[in-house]
A and B are shown apart, each in its own frame.
Chain A
Amino acid sequence: MTESESPDLPARPDEAQVPRIGVDEWVATHAGRTQLGRLQQRLSGVPSLGFYFLFGAIAAFVPVMTGNAYVVRVGFDTLLYMLLALGLNITVGYAGLLDLGYIAFYGFGAYTYAMLASPQFGIHWSTLAVIPVAVVATAILGFLVALPSRRLVGDYLAIVTLFFGQLFVTVYQNGESMSFLGFTRQVNATGGPNGIPNIDPFHAFGAKVTTVRGYFYVALIVFMLALFAVYLVDRSRTGRAWKSLREDPLAAELMGMPVNRLKLVAFSFGAAIAGLAGTMFAALNTAVFAADFDVPTLIIVYAMLILGGAGSLGGVIVGALIVNVSLEVLRTPDHATYVFYLLLLATLVAKLRPWRVLAVVLGGTIGFGYVVHAIVSSAAPTWVHGSASVGGWFGSWLEGWALHNDTPGTVGKFLFVLLVLAILGVMTLEGWWQKLAMIPTLYLAAVVWENVLVVEPSVTRLILVGVILIVLMNARPQGLLGTARVEIV
């Protein structure tokens, strides 16, 4: 071999003479040339930074257009969720590390801010000092959690991090009399179940952020900066290395990538962003409780990430927006009811073909309802004395069609179980039998909704968001803005 660093390989051969191995003419002419493919290509031609700026500009106008503090507050929460999803996107979306303890980093950031800016310890640092300290501390915590787990992959990592998340909640919920490994005297570190109240608002140079609108703008600026930072990392060598690590860890290792270091960096980068979100949460709410950082919040952030498309920055924005706004809209039982019936109808219209099948099932369900209602009203009148979940003409129609018990209780729970069994039954049947079985099942679903679900809106809205997720994921498994997975076969 010669002394030269790079061996000289033959020059570009004359293309005409080289057999063109593996050129599949069909693929060559058709790849990415469908209508949808064209649209996607044209959209992907627009620089994504353009979209982000557009989003930032529109978001900046929200508080200007509405004086409604509630709307601005929902906007702030949504931005906070976007920031959380952005961090999770690094750990899960880019590096493919299933981190189920993620929300603990959010909590850690919030508590760190609370401890350094509240009467709890009598410390009132400037916000410009607390935020960097909280972010760096959370990054270090992320590093420490990942350190023993970095060789763990897949399911094991998920279990270890889930355990860590629960440990965080338990420790902070019982931290009202803690001592450091038994060496120091007992101190009230976390306020235990009472949390830490009276947290200072963001303040620097003598100015304070006191309005929701102010926090909205702080959150917007912080999110846009974080988004830009992640955007740069995404396009860097490290960003690509994360993605290849997620795709094929062994191949990444074979290319000489420092697999463990990449995992550690992804983990603590994600944690740092969650910690940053935590400081804003603490400052706006002026109180923190460990229960705020438990599994339900984790699930919501995951839902946002998956819905938007893991690994996609635009998906973080879209996913957080859809999920959080849906959750808010569904807080009102009236909205939830309309969403429920519309979802049912939309699913039937989308799934039942041809039209006569749809007509039979819909007509059958309505007819079945009137018959049942007529029979029951004479046999067991308490079952038609309740009132519908909504008012208006739709409500009165529902009262004449679906059963409404005046005191739905244990019977309701029984109906719920019956509904689950009926759905399972429908799924095992085929052909016309399945369509026929759908008629009483749909009616049962309506009755369960009217009597059971709508009574407990907090559970119901989560169930509904879950259903929306399932429906969307069926339509687009990679998430709204995610790239379809390409399998090498």
Chain B
Amino acid sequence: MSANGDTPLLRLDGVDTFYGPIHILQGLSLEVRAGELVCLLGGNASGKSTTLKTILGIVTPRNGAVRLEGEDVTKRATSYRIRKGLAIVPENRRLFAPMTVLENLQMGAFLHGGGTKEDFDRVYGLFPLLYERRSQLAGTLSGGEQQMVAMGRALMAKPKLLLMDEPSMGLAPILVERSFEIIKQVNDAGVAMLVVEQNANVSLSIADRGYVLSTGRLVLEGKADELRENEDLRKAYLGR
């Protein structure tokens, strides 16, 4: 990675993303620095997933730039960006259901030859249960277990920046808390994170900074602690 501590790992500059004629992201700018845990909050259909798709190159913005470690990758393929150190835990996890846990992990390291023993050790160290379940079909796992496979799969690629799309979706409250503990743990180990969430409470409690998105525009940004005290945000998202 860049030796220059001032260059953010990821930077979006005035990004405009469209689906056909529909303007979704409108002049969106944000950044994530090495080692940071940043959350991107927003209600349904506010453009959170679209932001992640733009970062990964699944959709290409009409204006603006996506930069990884200072390099403009706006026109680059998804695989290029992943080689540069991105990985994602997609919305609804999107595991390969008829494949085993082990095969799912291998697919996470597809661009790295299927993963080294070290990669597997790292992931199994974090999720011992995945080791026990390595030959079980991913589709037969419970929601919490699937979440672990999805995170493990993403971590197999040794990402510098891990994108997470609504990790709390569909999990029981106790599992949500445990999930965020793991997220924090991974972040403490040095992986920068951009966590997209509707659940502002939990995500702000572990994040360094946060952005709030509303119909494709940023409406608030700041330190996590400050956002937690913000009146508007409280009313809109924290429900107290």
Interface residues of A (CB under 8 A from B): 1-3, 5-13, 15, 18-24, 27, 31, 237, 240-241, 243-244, 247-248, 250-258, 483, 485-488
Which residues does chain A contribute within 8 Å of B93, judged by CB atoms? Answer: 488
The chain A residue sitting closest to B95, CB to CB, is A488
Which residues does chain B contribute within 8 Å of A1, judged by CB atoms? Answer: 1, 34-35, 160, 190-192
The answer to whether the Cβ of B30 comes within 8 Å of any Cβ in the partner chain is no
Which residues does chain A contribute within 8 Å of B92, judged by CB atoms? Answer: 488
Give the docked Cα–Cα distance between A3 and B5 (Å).
12
- Inter-chain contact A27/B185, CB cutoff 8 Å: no
Which residues does chain A contribute within 8 Å of B145, judged by CB atoms? Answer: 21-23
Which residues does chain B contribute within 8 Å of A250, judged by CB atoms? Answer: 58, 90, 94
The answer to whether the Cβ of B169 comes within 8 Å of any Cβ in the partner chain is no
- Inter-chain contact B175/A488, CB cutoff 8 Å: no
Give the docked Cα–Cα distance between A7 and B159 (Å).
9
The answer to whether the Cβ of B103 comes within 8 Å of any Cβ in the partner chain is yes
Within 8 A of A (CB), among B121-136: 122, 124-126, 128-129, 136
Which residues does chain B contribute within 8 Å of A19, judged by CB atoms? Answer: 174, 178
Which residues does chain A contribute within 8 Å of B185, judged by CB atoms? Answer: 9-10
Known: A240-B99, A254-B90, A483-B98. A20 touches B136 (CB 8 A): no
Within 8 A of A (CB), among B100-153: 103, 106-108, 110-111, 113-114, 118-119, 122, 124-126, 128-129, 136-148, 153
- Inter-chain contact A488/B146, CB cutoff 8 Å: yes
- Cβ 8 A contact of A22, one of B78, B103, B148, B157: B148
The chain B residue sitting closest to A245, CB to CB, is B96
Give the docked Cα–Cα distance between A11 and B99 (Å).
27
Minimum Cβ distance to chain A for residue B121 (Å): 8
Minimum Cβ distance to chain B for residue A255 (Å): 5
Minimum Cβ distance to chain B for residue A423 (Å): 35
- Inter-chain contact B97/A487, CB cutoff 8 Å: yes
Give the docked Cα–Cα distance between A483 and B100 (Å).
12
Give the docked Cα–Cα distance between A31 and B78 (Å).
37
- Inter-chain contact A13/B128, CB cutoff 8 Å: yes
The answer to whether the Cβ of B82 comes within 8 Å of any Cβ in the partner chain is yes
Give the docked Cα–Cα distance between A31 and B34 (Å).
42
- Inter-chain contact A31/B128, CB cutoff 8 Å: no
The chain B residue sitting closest to A8, CB to CB, is B189
Give the docked Cα–Cα distance between A401 and B85 (Å).
78
**For the complex of A and B, 10 pairs with smallest distance between CB atoms:** A22-B144, A486-B139, A256-B82, A7-B190, A251-B94, A12-B125, A22-B145, A1-B34, A256-B79, A22-B142
- Cβ 8 A contact of B125, one of A9, A241, A253: A9
Which residues does chain B contribute within 8 Å of A23, judged by CB atoms? Answer: 129, 142, 145
Give the docked Cα–Cα distance between A15 and B79 (Å).
36
The answer to whether the Cβ of B48 comes within 8 Å of any Cβ in the partner chain is no
Minimum Cβ distance to chain A for residue B23 (Å): 22
Give the A-B pair count, Cβ closer than 8 A. Answer: 143
- Inter-chain contact B125/A248, CB cutoff 8 Å: no
The answer to whether the Cβ of B202 comes within 8 Å of any Cβ in the partner chain is no
- Inter-chain contact A254/B126, CB cutoff 8 Å: no
The answer to whether the Cβ of B186 comes within 8 Å of any Cβ in the partner chain is yes
Minimum Cβ distance to chain B for residue A340 (Å): 37
- Inter-chain contact A255/B178, CB cutoff 8 Å: no
Known: A1-B192, A2-B190, A22-B142. A247 touches B99 (CB 8 A): yes
Minimum Cβ distance to chain B for residue A133 (Å): 34
Known: A1-B192, A7-B158, A248-B94. A258 touches B128 (CB 8 A): no
Known: A15-B128, A19-B178. A244 touches B99 (CB 8 A): yes
Minimum Cβ distance to chain B for residue A247 (Å): 5
Minimum Cβ distance to chain A for residue B185 (Å): 6
Which residues does chain A contribute within 8 Å of B110, judged by CB atoms? Answer: 237, 241, 255-257
Minimum Cβ distance to chain A for residue B2 (Å): 10
Give the docked Cα–Cα distance between A243 and B124 (Å).
24
Q: List 18 other contacts, CB 8 Å, given A254-B58, A486-B139.
A: A1-B190, A8-B190, A9-B125, A12-B124, A21-B145, A21-B148, A22-B148, A24-B142, A27-B140, A243-B98, A248-B94, A250-B58, A251-B90, A255-B153, A258-B79, A483-B98, A486-B98, A488-B92
Please name 24 pairs of A and B residues whose Cβ atoms are closer than 8 Å in the assembled complex, sorted by A.
A1-B1, A1-B35, A5-B158, A7-B189, A7-B191, A12-B125, A22-B148, A23-B145, A24-B142, A237-B106, A237-B113, A243-B96, A243-B98, A244-B96, A248-B96, A251-B95, A253-B78, A254-B58, A254-B94, A256-B79, A257-B110, A483-B98, A486-B97, A486-B140
Which residues does chain A contribute within 8 Å of B189, judged by CB atoms? Answer: 7-10
Which residues does chain A contribute within 8 Å of B153, judged by CB atoms? Answer: 255
Which residues does chain A contribute within 8 Å of B98, judged by CB atoms? Answer: 243, 247, 483, 485-486
Minimum Cβ distance to chain B for residue A259 (Å): 9
- Inter-chain contact B82/A255, CB cutoff 8 Å: yes
Give the docked Cα–Cα distance between A2 and B192 (Å).
11
The answer to whether the Cβ of B196 comes within 8 Å of any Cβ in the partner chain is no
Which residues does chain A contribute within 8 Å of B94, judged by CB atoms? Answer: 248, 250-251, 254
- Inter-chain contact B155/A9, CB cutoff 8 Å: yes
Minimum Cβ distance to chain B for residue A143 (Å): 20
The chain B residue sitting closest to A483, CB to CB, is B98
The answer to whether the Cβ of B56 comes within 8 Å of any Cβ in the partner chain is yes
- Cβ 8 A contact of A31, one of B126, B140, B179: B140
The chain A residue sitting closest to B9, CB to CB, is A1
- Inter-chain contact A22/B175, CB cutoff 8 Å: yes
Give the docked Cα–Cα distance between A19 and B182 (Å).
12
Known: A247-B98, A251-B90, A486-B97. A240 touches B107 (CB 8 A): yes
Give the docked Cα–Cα distance between A7 and B129 (Å).
21
The answer to whether the Cβ of B88 comes within 8 Å of any Cβ in the partner chain is yes
Minimum Cβ distance to chain A for residue B156 (Å): 9
Which residues does chain A contribute within 8 Å of B138, judged by CB atoms? Answer: 486, 488
The answer to whether the Cβ of B223 comes within 8 Å of any Cβ in the partner chain is no
Give the docked Cα–Cα distance between A250 and B147 (Å).
18
The answer to whether the Cβ of B83 comes within 8 Å of any Cβ in the partner chain is yes
Minimum Cβ distance to chain B for residue A10 (Å): 6
Minimum Cβ distance to chain A for residue B13 (Å): 22
Give the docked Cα–Cα distance between A80 and B150 (Å).
42
Give the docked Cα–Cα distance between A243 and B104 (Å).
11
Minimum Cβ distance to chain B for residue A361 (Å): 40
Give the docked Cα–Cα distance between A178 and B146 (Å).
59
